[in-house]
Amino acid sequence: MKRLFYLKHSPINVLFTKNSSDFIVNELPLYEFSGEGEHLILHVRKKDMTTWQMVQALSEVCGAKTRDFGYAGLKDKDGMTTQYVSVHKSFEKKLENFSHENIKIISKTYHNNKIRIGHLKGNRFFIRLKRANKIDAQKLENAIKTLAKEGFPNFFGYQRFGKQGDNYILGREILQGKRKERKRKMKNFFISAYQSFLFNEWLSNRLKIGHMIDGFNEKEAAQTLGFSVELIKELKQQKRFFKIFEGDVLHHYPAGKAFICEDMKTELARFEEEAITATGWLPGNRSMRCGDGIAKVLEEKIYSEAEPYLAQMDGARRFAWAFLKDVEYEYKEDQSWFEMHFSLPKGSYATVVLEELTHQL
């Protein structure tokens, strides 16, 4: 799959290993738990295991079925991660002496509702890069400062596409009727990979436009993109690298509703303030499409192949441009380590940020 980078520096050859010392993820809950109610809320830390494996281990001890547990999202298998898990408080006593070499219950409280998928604000990450010399460290510092100020393209990460990177092909073949998949969960997973692939293709195309607007003069950009010189002038006046068009589907950030861009002046100001952002389409039924104009043309260019299969997919919108929050970094020269902390909204991949920083896929 094609991938463009936003930043223009040369690749940075550092070592990243997804282990419990160098990759730590802490879930940021969507809301404060009430401290009372019928659901037990466990703050759990796991190491080198999937969320499913962690839930299974809790299930085997307390007797609750795995479907009785609630969680906001699936965390990485590799590394150290914390997240919140809910189960009915009738199982609390059996969990009092819970012990597992890769799982620790950090704390517990209560809440009125079960935790549901998506009930998280985002995640906070710690990443340690090794074998970073002074030149590498300076390049990384410059890059992360830029991303902290400007944001980053919110691609789906490699995890979405499988070890061979071909999950989206299987999804397309299922939609076309060329492949049968009996397991509903796997069928939906492959179709989701196909939707993610189209989103990444669309986002790469929008990055290409940003680079041409920034790198070419008005006449060259107009000829290459097929836009009018007047539109190129307007796009060059936009302060952010990611360019917004009338008709784009925008979204309040980090939460809120999607809407069509009609008042360009107002929305550009809010985009610069990180109050809104642009979105891309995960094609399917019951999801908002772009309005008329160039935004629609750019969307149809990528998504036209999916039109015959929309009834078979649940559609959605995804942030195209996202923002790092609470960025911290430190270079430990004596150990050749570059360490960083940052927070991302739900659905964003730390590995995508890391790829943008290092230019290594």
For the chain, give the secondary structure using H, E and C: CCCCCCCCCCCCCCECCCCCCCEEEEEEECCCCCCCCCEEEEEEEEECCCHHHHHHHHHHHHCCCHHHCEECCCCCCCCEEEEEEEEEHHHCHHHCCCCECCEEEEEEEEECCCCCCCCEEEEEEEEEEECCCHHHHHHHHHHHHHHHHHCEECCCCHHHCCCCCCHHHHHHHHHHCCCCCCCHHHHHHHHHHHHHHHHHHHHHHHHHHHHHHHHCCHHHHHHHHCCCHHHHHHHHHCCCCCCCCCCCEEEECCCCCEEECCCHHHHHHHHHCCCEEEEEEECCECCCCCCCCHHHHHHHHHHHHHHHHHHHCECEEEECEECCEEEEEEEECCCCEEEEEEEEECCCCHHHHHHHHHCCC
For residue 314, indicate whether it is catalytic.
no
Which residue out of 22, 76, 136, 248 is catalytically annotated? Answer: 76
Q: Is the dihedral of CA 273, 274, 275, 279 positive or negative?
A: positive
Q: Just list the catalytic residues.
A: 76
